[in-house]
A and B are shown apart, each in its own frame.
Chain A
Amino acid sequence: MKNGIINKILMYVILGIAACSFLYPFIWMIGASLSPEQQIGNMNLFPSEPTMQNFRIMIGKIPIWRSLFNSTLVALFTTALVLFTGSTVGYALARLQFKGRQVIFYIIVFTMSLPFQITLIPNYITMVNLHLVDSYMALIIPFSVSAFAILMFRQAFLGLPQALIDAAHLDGCNELQVIFSVLWPNIIPTIITIGMLTFIGSWNEVLWPLIVIRDEQIMTMPQLVTLFAVGGRADAQLGVKLAAAVLLALPVMIAFLFFQKYFIQSMASSGLKD
């Protein structure tokens, strides 16, 4: 029995060390962003003389609030479009008979495993030719359809009884009404999962914005902060860079505190796609 207690203590010690190693960097980052530049090197968790100076300098140098707005707008529109196209295509694949259904299904499964490196450069050229460079459209349209979302919706719709759809048709619903007002309320967890994954994915995307956006007023937050950190404008001041990183992290961390259960469930199911 004594052995069991020692094991238990050991378990908590290991988990505790692991938890500290995950929390410490974030707490340090917030503390450092609130410290005067000379004190950042001390690696203290809490600043002795807290100051907002770093944030003030950073906000004066880059349009960070504008980029917060841009990121929110782009992520919201992308998520709405992915939910819409995912539902309509997923519904057709799950519930309607038509020629080519199997072919489209296999194409979707196949294209999911296509590495993005192959389409990256041609897609940039498409954006140039469509005159979409430096527009919100360039950030939204290439992410507006998701093969993963289509397959998830197809799976969810397959699990619902046909009687539900037939009853809605008798009530005179058209197919869009069937999908969005009759079937959607029955698959809320799927919608939350896809919505969350798409929103986070769009919010954190940085390679694509770096390619298609040059105008600072259209930049997303991760892009703006990246260019601020690698460019010369932070004047090698750590505190200012860290302040930008804190503002970039904060919305996601706050959302995570409130909805962590949904975040974790959603991300866990994203791994199940193979």
Chain B
Amino acid sequence: MSNSSTKGRIRNGGSNKKSLLPYLLVSPYVLFLLVFVLFPVFFCFYLTFHTWNIISPMKFNGVNNYVRLFMDRMFWLAILNTLKFLVVQIPLQLIISLTLAQLLNQQLRGRSFFRATFFMPVIVSGVVISILWQQLFAYESGIFNRILSAVGVAKVGWLVSPEIAMYSIALMATWKNVGLYVILFLVGLQSVPTQYYEAAKLDGASNWRQFWHITLPMINPTIFMVVILSTIGGFSLFIEPYIITGGGPMNHTLSAVLYIYKQAFQYYNMGYSSTLGFFYAILIMVVVIIQKRLIEKED
């Protein structure tokens, strides 16, 4: 270390072009990369072939963890739950954020007020949002069931019905994140050249046709970005079910990350949970790559 800093000083004198200074500057990153990125990836892979509870010595168990993973109904249920979450969240977020962005992109008063209002939940901790929405979803006293009762519709088991609970959480997550996507779409919409719309108006194209044939194709990159961001965010779903339902009712809000967390830090199955983590990370990357391909083909 001291050796490299002396050489660094020589470079500053301008005499030694092959100095170590650049390496000294990037060394924090390289160290970080080795300790917190590369080593973990290899160690995770190594752990997938072992059983280990951290305290007693590690035991090699071949591909048993992988066999267990494919037979583990709970894990596949967690994957299914996560996919249910994504299937609702992604389209809902796209439609709502694009609609709000389109409205905000008009001549109107109070635009920055609306923008700030929509954005508020984005920066507030998911812990706050979860505690809050748990009350809004409450069966007897929650606002949603109160509104339903007031208009004479039967109450919904937002968090207690196994078929519905995950969709309720997806609704909440949409509310939390949509403000970010409104901002991204606003940036996208403002980058569409106004001449295109003027030309379309001369041709007598309706607003709706302008939206389909000019706006949508032009903001394709933003749509892509929003889909990718909300996919990655959805695959990381953890704190919301952890606080609101604990994974229930009947494990129907158990997300994949929550299951991996439980395997690792409640049951201390380090080998098996690493197998889940490894498999899940590859799954995420595959899904994101497929999305990229599909959207690029659209162009």
The chain A residue with its CB closest to the CB of B46 is A122
Give the CA-CA distance A136 to B260 in the complex, in Å.
Answer: 24
- Using known A-B contacts A89-B29, A125-B54, A271-B184, determine if residue A29 contacts B132 with beta carbons closer than 8 Å: yes
B25 within 8 A of A: yes
- Using known A-B contacts A229-B131, A268-B184, determine if residue A144 contacts B32 with beta carbons closer than 8 Å: yes
In the complex, how many angstroms separate the beta carbon of A111 from the nearest chain B beta carbon?
Answer: 5
Give the CA-CA distance A11 to B264 in the complex, in Å.
Answer: 50
* B11-33 CB contacts (< 8 Å) to partner A: 12, 14, 21-23, 25-26, 28-30, 32-33
Q: Which of B37-45, B60-68, B197-205 contacts A (4 or more CB under 8 A)?
A: B37-45
Asked if A126 and B36 sit within 8 Å, CB to CB, the answer is: yes
B236 within 8 A of A: yes
- Using known A-B contacts A22-B117, A245-B127, A252-B124, determine if residue A92 contacts B22 with beta carbons closer than 8 Å: yes
Asked if A104 and B26 sit within 8 Å, CB to CB, the answer is: yes
- Using known A-B contacts A200-B123, A230-B246, A267-B180, determine if residue A32 contacts B22 with beta carbons closer than 8 Å: no
In the complex, how many angstroms separate the beta carbon of B37 from the nearest chain A beta carbon?
Answer: 5
Interface size band for B: 35 or more
In the complex, which of the residues B12, B25, B228, B243 contacts A229, with contact meaning CB atoms closer than 8 Å? Answer: B243
Asked if A120 and B277 sit within 8 Å, CB to CB, the answer is: yes
* B139-153 CB contacts (< 8 Å) to partner A: 140-141, 143, 146
Task: For B277, list chain A residues within 8 Å (CB).
Answer: 117-118, 120-121
Give the CA-CA distance A15 to B117 in the complex, in Å.
Answer: 10
Asked if A117 and B33 sit within 8 Å, CB to CB, the answer is: no
Which of B23, B124, B274 has most chain A Cβ within 10 Å? B124
- Using known A-B contacts A18-B114, A121-B264, A124-B264, determine if residue A175 contacts B25 with beta carbons closer than 8 Å: yes
Asked if A96 and B54 sit within 8 Å, CB to CB, the answer is: no
Give the CA-CA distance A142 to B32 in the complex, in Å.
Answer: 8
Asked if A122 and B288 sit within 8 Å, CB to CB, the answer is: no
A158 within 8 A of B: no
Give the CA-CA distance A88 to B136 in the complex, in Å.
Answer: 47
Interface size band for A: 35 or more
In the complex, which of the residues A91, A126, A204, A268 contacts B187, with contact meaning CB atoms closer than 8 Å? Answer: A268
Asked if B26 and A89 sit within 8 Å, CB to CB, the answer is: yes
Give the CA-CA distance A204 to B236 in the complex, in Å.
Answer: 14
Asked if A92 and B25 sit within 8 Å, CB to CB, the answer is: yes
The chain B residue with its CB closest to the CB of A97 is B22
- Chain A interface, >50% SS class: helix
| Chain A-chain B contacts (Cβ-Cβ < 8 Å), number | 246
Task: For A108, list chain B residues within 8 Å (CB).
Answer: 29
* B104-130 CB contacts (< 8 Å) to partner A: 104, 106, 108, 112-128, 130
Query: Chain A 231-269 against B: per-residue CB contact (8 Å), 1 yes, 0 no?
Result: 000000010011011101100110010001001100110
In the complex, how many angstroms separate the beta carbon of A153 from the nearest chain B beta carbon?
Answer: 11
Task: For B87, list chain A residues within 8 Å (CB).
Answer: none
Query: Chain B 235-279 against A: per-residue CB contact (8 Å), 1 yes, 0 no?
Result: 110110011001000000000110011001100001001100110
A123 within 8 A of B: yes
Asked if B183 and A267 sit within 8 Å, CB to CB, the answer is: yes
In the complex, how many angstroms separate the beta carbon of A243 from the nearest chain B beta carbon?
Answer: 10
Task: For B47, list chain A residues within 8 Å (CB).
Answer: 121-122
A219 within 8 A of B: no
In the complex, how many angstroms separate the beta carbon of B54 from the nearest chain A beta carbon?
Answer: 7
In the complex, how many angstroms separate the beta carbon of A145 from the nearest chain B beta carbon?
Answer: 4
The chain A residue with its CB closest to the CB of B140 is A41
Give the CA-CA distance A122 to B45 in the complex, in Å.
Answer: 10
Give the CA-CA distance A211 to B239 in the complex, in Å.
Answer: 13
